[in-house]
A and B are shown apart, each in its own frame.
Chain A
Amino acid sequence: MTAVATIQFTGVRRVFRGRGGATHTALDGIDLLVDSEHRVGVVGESGSGKSTLVRLMVGLDRPSAGEIEWGGVSIASMGTAALRNFRREVQLVAQDTSSSFDPRRTLRDTLRRPCRNLLDLDTPAADAAIDATLEALSLDAALAERKPHQVSGGQRQRFAIARALVVEPRIIVCDEAVSALDVSVQGSVLNLLKEHCERRGAGLVFVSHGLPATAFLVDELLVMYQGAIVERGSTAQVLFAGRHAYTRALVDAYRTTAGELTPEAV
């Protein structure tokens, strides 16, 4: 059994500078540990810093202050080889799949890229890995020969998940990965993610607006508000014994719009 893979945030702050020297602090004082053995949910309103957290977590952005480490090594100081290894182990699934695939290429072509770049697979080996992943995600392999605009939104979202899973990452980071899908498709995609993480022993960071979807999937919940983590704990603890006013407001808002949230349902 390989060692537990970890991403450690220590005192992370991210400040964006606008025109005329104006600054916006998107994240402040973030201390966080995610690993390949747990599924963590991140909830919070728009502008609370969730997407910035995701970009930092997958190494697409650098913190203005603080440190983000992968297995004890700072991501900012990684060389090409170490960064490549990190990208193989940490993969991202995003919300807007219509713009994340190359419209000129077939879905299979797009899925071959991470196989070639991160796993050094030749085309037949990449195709075999792709077919195995598609089968696990209940996707018809024939769909992979189509271009992204020639499949439905739900199918495209599964291909986005397949793109992340095909390199068998240790940690999967999902940023609003099911928010654009209708409820029935959301359910099947969530099940697929959960099954994959349990079967392969991968960790999950699931960032979402949707409280029930997140609660269904994760063991631990983080609540973000104005760039800070204001609440963290087991899913049941955060939902039913939340101490921060924003957490209680979030749970109440869900109750008034979608009905009772009971420990049994969770």
Chain B
Amino acid sequence: MAGLWAHHGWWIRRLAMLPVHLVLFAVIVFFLVKLIPGDPVAVLSGGQTMTPEQYQAARAALGLSGSLPAQLGTFLGRTATLDLGNSVISGTGVLSEMLTRLPETVELAVLAMVVSLVLTLVLGFLVMLRPRALVSRTVASYSRAAGALPDFCLGVAGIFLFYSVLRWAPAPIGRYDPLLNAPTHTTGFPFLDALLSGDAVLMRSMLAHLWLPVGVLVVAYAPMLIKLFIRSLQQARDAQATTFRIASGASRSMVLLSITRRALPATVAMFGTIFGFMVGGAVVVEQLFAIPGMGEYAVQAVTRSDFVALRGFLLVVGFLSLLVFFFVDVVTMLLDPRRRSGAAVTGG
């Protein structure tokens, strides 16, 4: 038993922290949404007069009756049973709405992540292996400008250049041609569903509509990843460990593999952070390209003071990010045991 704990304790400890982080995040969300001015019941009633009894019943239904700790308790209890309430405006269940929209946004973020990952690997190795090549120097300069251009500006510039001027992209209205039928619902992820249904026309339309929003996310966020990967590769290349791999007679491919493995933990950790940025960026990009998803829902919730919907959005996105961070931490600790909590370290 002790041996099992010694071998697996590090990830079990990290897993045990996950619910703690989730509860803390839920508490923060509760108080953040409380800061929004205005009376939700007034929004709900649409300005109609209510009797005091009706008013109290409406507050109770929204979980707003009782003291602040009691309201927090009600909120946490409902959240624990996955009851995120109903939208104050539309009356539809927040969770079911989220489950419909989340895959659409996550798919956009994941597509951008995949492209970013491929770019990062290719360009990272290019810069490390051919540092003096013009392409390498261009990439290094571009990655140093990481985060200088916000996704919103890039999106507007991209639409102007590629739709209005060059006509390389279709009108920024939706995920595919509005005249086409929606893909058969299999997984909820539209691109994947189109792929699974084998509808070539729909696939082509999706690719034509998605390359620009995905490109905007990649150009906005990939440089952070590329910059870190290049730096990590260079550090790993110049590290003592590499020196000794060479000194102990390892082949070139083994040395390269060792450099990559040691450059990965920092990059994987950044990967998790970038995923959070990508989901946030996808929300913005969805608005620019009129793509239905979480972004549209969140913006509507804010503009209509729909606090239940907004709270649900924050909870779902926050929980998703915490899950991604958990997996990133576990992968990082797998790659580098020194990062594991409780790893036996003897100084001296």
Contact = CB atoms under 8 A, between A and B. Distances in A.
Contacts of A163: 244, 248
Contacts of A87: 246-249
B268 to A, nearest CB: 15
Contact of A147 (B240, B258, B337): B337
Contacts of A102: 241, 258
B346 A150 contact: yes
Contact of A113 (B239, B250, B337, B345): B250
Interface in B25-39: none
A80 to B, nearest CB: 8
A114 B337 CA distance: 23
Given A84-B249, A103-B338, A151 B346 contact: yes
B343 interface: yes
B344 interface: yes
A89 to B, nearest CB: 11
Contacts of B244: 92, 94, 100-101, 163
Interface in A57-103: 58, 60, 84, 87-88, 91-92, 94, 96-97, 99-103
Contact of A114 (B239, B248, B338): B248
Nearest to B258: A102
Interface in A123-154: 147, 149-154
A58 B245 CA distance: 13
Contacts of A96: 240
Contacts of B345: 149-150
A55 B243 CA distance: 9
B248 A99 contact: no
By size class, the interface of chain A is 20 to 34
A113 B343 contact: no
A104 interface: yes
Interface in A106-128: 113-114, 117-118
A100 B240 contact: yes
Most buried by A among B246, B247, B258, B344: B247
A101 B241 contact: yes
Contact of A153 (B241, B245, B337, B347): B347
Nearest to B240: A100
B348 interface: yes
Interface of B: 239-241, 243-250, 258, 336-338, 343-348
A97 B244 CA distance: 10
Interface of A: 55, 58, 60, 84, 87-88, 91-92, 94, 96-97, 99-104, 113-114, 117-118, 147, 149-155, 163
B257 to A, nearest CB: 12
Nearest to A149: B345
Nearest to A119: B249
A94 B243 contact: yes
B243 A60 contact: yes
Most central of B239, B240, B249, B346 by chain A CB within 10 Å: B249
Given A94-B240, A99-B240, A152 B247 contact: no
B346 A104 contact: no
B348 A99 contact: no
Nearest to A84: B249
Given A100-B241, A149-B337, 11 more contacts: A60-B243, A88-B249, A91-B247, A92-B247, A101-B241, A101-B244, A113-B250, A114-B247, A117-B249, A149-B346, A151-B346
A60 B249 CA distance: 12
Given A104-B336, A152-B346, A118 B240 contact: no
A150 B336 contact: no
A94 B249 CA distance: 16
A113 B246 CA distance: 11
Contacts of A84: 249
Which residue, of A60, A103, A155, has the highest number of chain B Cβ atoms within 10 A? A103
Nearest to B338: A103
Given A96-B240, A99-B241, A60 B246 contact: yes
Going nearest first, the 8 A-B pairs with the smallest beta carbon separation are A117-B249, A152-B348, A100-B240, A114-B248, A118-B249, A113-B248, A99-B240, A103-B338
A119 to B, nearest CB: 9
A222 B245 CA distance: 29
A104 B240 CA distance: 15
Contacts of A154: 348
B134 to A, nearest CB: 15
